[in-house]
Amino acid sequence: MGALLFILIVAAIVYYTKVYNSPNAKAVRAICKGKTPDQQKVIEYFCKEGCMTKTMDDDEYLSMVRAKRDSLNLRQKALNKIGLDEDEVSEISPATFEGFVYKNAYAKKRANGNWVSSSYQVAWLFFSSTQIYIYRYTFNMDEDKKTESTDEFFYKDVTSFSTSSESEQAHGLGDEKFEVESNKFKMVVPGDQIFVSMDGVADSENIIQAMKQKLREKKM
């Protein structure tokens, strides 16, 4: 009995010094102050280190991101922002692009080699007989932060649709920073280029080809 108690005491000391009281654990706890339980889980997923630590796995995190995305009802939110009924923007089927955004976000490489981050973007594009409307919404999983924007362009003013590989600077715990490459949908208009994350869309090339075809028709 005495030997077992001794082992338990030693294990508790090791856990406290190597895990709970480690520099990493203390830094993570400091960042988590004032956050919601879900936000704390996200921060721990990206930042917590050590063989004796436990965080959610990759699938759990992806499920959490999808659940938040779905709860936002972004297709309807986009239509509300544009101020049009869906039958007014049915020249072709609406297009949606989505994926993680790495700029100024926590990021990590999953077990399968793909990157994820604490920031996620969804974009909806709608097509009327004369204009293209694009709605972008970006939300953060580690804090109460979101950005949204709405733009509209006449077909004649759109130069091109394409894909582009862009490098963004993400960060880890503290001052750690690194570059992450991601695929973007690119829309070029006079004096500007609009980029939208698209790593989360399996048939993005088919969607873009349909958009290119409509743009060619409108410019004839």
In the chain, where are the structural domains located?
73-219
Of 143, 123, 139, nearest to 187 (Cα)? Answer: 123
Third-level CATH fold of 73-219: PH-domain like (2.30.29)
Q: What letter does residue 201 receive in the DSSP assignment?
A: -
Sign of CA pseudo-dihedral 128, 130, 132, 135: negative
d(CA 188, CA 58): 35
Residue 30 is encoded by which pair of tokens? 């400091």
DSSP, collapsed to helix, strand or coil, labels residue 159 as coil
Residue 99 is encoded by which pair of tokens? 């994926």
Quick one: pLDDT band at residue 6, thresholds 50, 70, 90?
very low
Give the model confidence (pLDDT) of 141-188 as tens digits: 999 999 999 999 999 999 999 998 889 999 988 788 989 999 999 999
